[in-house]
Amino acid sequence: MIEFVAHNLAPIMFGSLIIFLLLGYPVAFSLAANGLLFFIIGVELAPLSNDINLFWPLLGALPDRFFGGVMSNDTLLAIPFFTFMGLILERSGMAEDLLDTIGQLFGPLRGGLAYAVIFVGALLAATTGVVAASVIAMGLISLPIMLRYGYDRRLASGVIVASGTLAQIIPPSLVLIVLADQLGRSVGDMYSGALVPALVLTGLYVGYVFLVTMFNPNAAPALPKEARTLGHGVTSLIFAAAGAVVLAYLATTLLDGQVEQGAAIWGATIAILAVYFVAVLNKALKLPLLSYLTQQVIIVLIPPLALIFLVLGTIFLGIATPTEGGAMGAVGALALAFGKRKLNLSLMTQAMESTTKLSAFVLFILIGARVFSLTFYGVNGHIWVEELLTSVPGGQTGFLIVVNILVFFLAFFLDFFELAFIIVPLLAPAADSLGIDLIFFGVLLGLNMQTSFMHPPFGFALFYLRSVAARVPYLDRITGKRMEPVTTGQIYRGAVPFVCIQLVMVGLTILFPQMVMRYKSEAPVLDPSAIQLQIPNFGGEGGLPPLGGASGVGSPQNNPLGLPPLGMPPVGAPAGGAQAPAAGGASQQAPAAAPSMGLPPLDFGNAPGEAAPAPVAPPASQQPSSPTPPASAGQSAPIDLSQPPSFQ
């Protein structure tokens, strides 16, 4: 039994963690306690299994994992910045102005308020990045208005919850920051890869509302005329939008080639600023250039768009890192709150307190995950998970399907932070070994983990809406009618269709991976066939310089590199040790020529020009059995290598 536990410690450890979490223990402490408990067990069982690599000194690695891997992680600094930015914007009244103005704009259409909620939810997601702030703000503002004008409670609840969870996948999402950190990839690449799937998911939400209004018009009626307080004037808005498009095109054409990258972004920025300047001028001087509706839409809509550019535009243009973009976004949110005269000490205190709580929550989960992973990797748990998942039939597609089903069901019980810190580090090595791009894998998991906010019965977005929706009958402050409350069952049933839409989006992402992989096309791609290597011609028949022989050494045409000669003897020179005829016809010993390759001769003690001395004969007892042949006449005596040389 003990040997069975020793050989299967990794799956037992993972199952124990799931049990701890299902019992309701805090995630951070469950991770740390489970890791330390199984570390003790693993050290005791290490002699029984070769799969356990745990020993007591390994605990000394924990401080380095805490300070080197968590506290000094610059990527995680973006979390408090974006959280603070979102809380400031949520409390500054921006969401209320956006919902009121956009609701008036789409009011004449059936389902207009639902369209406005989805559109504003996408804007809040791109500015706040916090699901709780988006759901609570729209639940407080738009839900009473939708119920006032006869919207179906299930549709109204589902639209608010789903549009609030767009903050999970639309940059600057906190989930994408955590996933990029866990996968070891760039946050900017993760943002760029998630942009198109987020827009497609928003379009699917709009399409669902359109289908509901087509088959059941009473579920989402249009606003009555008396509720459209901003009047009409959509024609001037169309002309303003057309003028902005033309101006953006002209600015992009002029800037193309003048800036390194992002000419289209700069062109759109110039056009938006020009339209905003015209609207402000029209309001200040009371000019008849724009209708009141168009003027309000532009003035209310442009500031959050400017904040989006300040955060995401600078990241995509390469001007700022995600952490620096979050810092600029926090400053921009303070400026917008100051412009609305909502910036005060109470607002700052509440925002900083909430930011500190969320940042500490993330930090403690990450520290607990470090303790858990130290033990889990020590028992080769990552190898167990990798072998388990890579053996799934179907290759990459089969792996992605199984992993998404696993994450979908775990999302019933675990929060997205818990999934990111516990499950993703185990899945990433298997995905990488199968050749799956980790940015694509991270965006796919982000889309899937978005459903964790809407899963009955533990979806946090459902709880957020439940906390602000009416629980008892109340009198509407505008019409004076008695309004029935929204039940928990209606909230749950309203969220189910949008959970199905999110699953459809996961399938579309698997079928069309280029929606994510387009992030690679933004960098210049080199064609290997277009690369040409040019080797300079140094002269000579083969294009190579001569070896620098004795003949023509000093001539630059024969030695263009100025290399020293290799010390070869001239052609026809007698070799060292050969006899050359003297002038008198007698044969005498020729002086030794310079050794080849210009190396100095080995001098074992004989003076220059002298013959090597005869070796000293060893004693008779040490003489070899076979006699050494004597040196022939005219040759130097051989050197006895059995004796150490003498250096003088």
Rounded CA gap, 368 and 372, in Å? Answer: 6
Question: What angle do helix axes 153-164 and 460-468 make, rounded to 10 degrees?
Answer: 120
CB under 8 Å to 491, separation ≥6 — which residues? Answer: 157, 161, 462, 465, 466, 469
Query: Percentage of the chain with pLDDT > 90?
Result: 8
Q: What angle do CA 618, 619, 623 make, to 5 degrees?
A: 70
- State the average pLDDT over residues 145-158: 87
- DSSP letter for 170, please: S
Tell me what pLDDT residue 533 has: 57
Pairwise pLDDT comparison (541 vs 168), residue with the higher score: 168
Give the whole-angstrom CA distance, residue 380 versus residue 132.
38
**Per-residue confidence band for 587, with pLDDT thresholds at 50, 70 and 90:** very low
Nearest residue to 30 via CA among 368, 358, 425: 368
Task: Name the strand (E) or helix (H) holding 429.
Answer: helix 424-433
- At 232, the amino acid letter reads H
CA distance 15 to 11: 6
Span between the terminal Cα atoms of the chain, in Å: 77
pLDDT tens digit sequence for 331-344: 888 988 888 888 88
Read off the pLDDT of each residue in 347-371 and give the average, rounded to a whole number: 86
CB 148 within 8 A of CB 476: yes
Q: Which of 234-243, 605-614, 617-626, 629-638 has the highest mean pLDDT?
A: 234-243
State the pLDDT at residue 498. Answer: 92
Tokens of 168: 């999970």
Dihedral class, residue 262 (left if φ above 0, else alpha if ψ from -120 to 50, else beta):
left
pLDDT bin (cut points 50, 70, 90) of residue 443 is very high
The pLDDT value recorded for residue 159 is 92
- Name the one residue in this structure whose structure tokens are 């955590």: 178
What proportion of the chain, given as a percentage, has pLDDT over 70?
78
d(CA 548, CA 561): 10
Q: What token pair was written down for 564?
A: 């020293």
pTM for this entry: 0.70
Pairing state between β 482-483 and 579-581: unpaired
Strand, coil or helix: 246? helix
The amino acid sitting at 199 is L
pLDDT of residue 578: 44
Asked whether residue 620 carries a pLDDT value surpassing 70, the answer given is no
pLDDT-derived band at 592, boundaries 50, 70, 90: very low
pLDDT tens digits, one per residue of 55-103: 788 887 788 777 776 777 777 788 888 888 878 877 777 777 787 788 8
> Of 209-218, 290-299, 573-582, 585-594, which one has max mean pLDDT?
209-218
DSSP per position, 349-409? HHHHHHHHHHHHHHHHHHHHHHHHHHHHHHTTHHHHHHHHHHTSTTHHHHHHHHHHHHHHH
